Structure 1
Amino acid sequence: MLHSRLIALLLRAVLVVAALWLVVILGLSMPGELSDEPLPFRIPVQIALSIVILCVLTVIVCIWRLLTLVRRDRLFSEASHRWVDAIVWALGIGWSVLAVLAITATSIIYFTPELRDPGFPMLLFGIVTLAALPVLLMLVMRGLLHQATGYRAELEEVI
């Protein structure tokens, strides 16, 4: 039990550090980094990246709530389903925005002869592909949570 409490404490510490880091990027770093870009590109890119960061912050809050449910031994309840569904939705929205941003950037690179370089589009393809993994993993984990909740309910009926 001590081992799992230590892991939960470490996870909470990492979640706090990650959330603070994302807030600094969202509020301070990103506006400065994008200030050199031409205005037609700066605002859509800033909006898209802000949405992605807000989705990740939503996932952090949901994981925090799930850790609270684990501590109270209520993980296999309907409350956890809502938080896992929120994670799936946040990851899906963030991935969709990231994919649209990557497709747009790749299209601009492809249709601008001076910019035609396969390196950056391939990097974007890799990022979008890797970003799909947490979404798909959470879908699998959501299915496992539903099954485990059903098994726990059956077990409680037997006992």
Structure 2
Amino acid sequence: MQKMDWIVVPLRVLLVLVFVGLLVAQFLSLPGEFRQTAEEHPEAGFIPWLLLTFAILEVLCIQIVIVCTWRLLTLVRADRIFSEESFVWVDVIVWTMVAAWVLLAGVSAYLVGIIYFTPELRDPGTPILLIGMTLIGGVVVLTIVVLRALLRQATVLRTDLEEVI
């Protein structure tokens, strides 16, 4: 499928750059940032470490999605995207996104609870932001599920068409 090279090649370059950037963040930037936050604000207790764990797990989820996207791009170039093999990678993306969303919802609920019950932290902006991010994450997950269903329909139609031909 040579027609798709104009989009597949630049996308792969960007995926590599994002993956490398996420590795740097995961092993250098995030631990240093949260260690500094924990040292500057000892009254925060374990919250910086909770947020570090959350951030590293979310970055890991993004890395898994990047690897799956790479594999799907391989199937696109080989003109095999409408095959059962693609559903393995799409399913991994769906379940990874579900896991990332559950983590986001859990951490957001915990932090909103802390903010709500701590009078000196009662700024409505942060809970609104956390709830908004959780809602947007849910929309993304459900959109991916719909796209998976569309891929399933297209695969069935292509299989039927190949049988006719």
Q: TM-score range by the shorter chain?
A: over 0.9
TM alignment of 1:59-138, pairs within 5 A: 59-138=65-144
Equivalents in 1 of 2:14, 2:153: separation in Å?
Answer: 29
Equivalents in 1 of 2:122, 2:5: separation in Å?
Answer: 52
Q: CA deviation at 1:143?
A: 0.2
Partner residue of 1:54? 60
Equivalents in 2 of 1:13, 1:137: separation in Å?
Answer: 25
Structure 1 moving runs of 4+ over 6 Å: none
User: Which amino acid is the alignment partner of residue 126 of structure 2?
Assistant: F
TM alignment of 1:7-18, pairs within 5 A: 7-18=7-18
Q: CA deviation at 1:48?
A: 1.6
RMSD: 1.4
Structure 1 alignment gaps of length 5 or more: none
Q: CA deviation at 1:151?
A: 0.8
Q: CA deviation at 1:4?
A: 2.3
Q: Deviations over 1:16-61 (max 9, x none)?
A: 1111111111111111111122442232222121111111100000
Q: What percentage of residue pairs aligned between the two structures are identical?
A: 46
Query: Is the contact made by 2:4 and 2:77 (CA closer than 8 Å) also made in structure 1?
Result: no
User: Which amino acid is the alignment partner of residue 134 of structure 1?
Assistant: V
User: Which amino acid is the alignment partner of residue 113 of structure 1?
Assistant: P
Q: Deviations over 1:97-121 (max 9, x none)?
A: 0111111111101011111110111
Q: TM-score, normalised by structure 1?
A: 0.94
Q: May I ask how many residue pairs the two structures share in their alignment?
A: 159
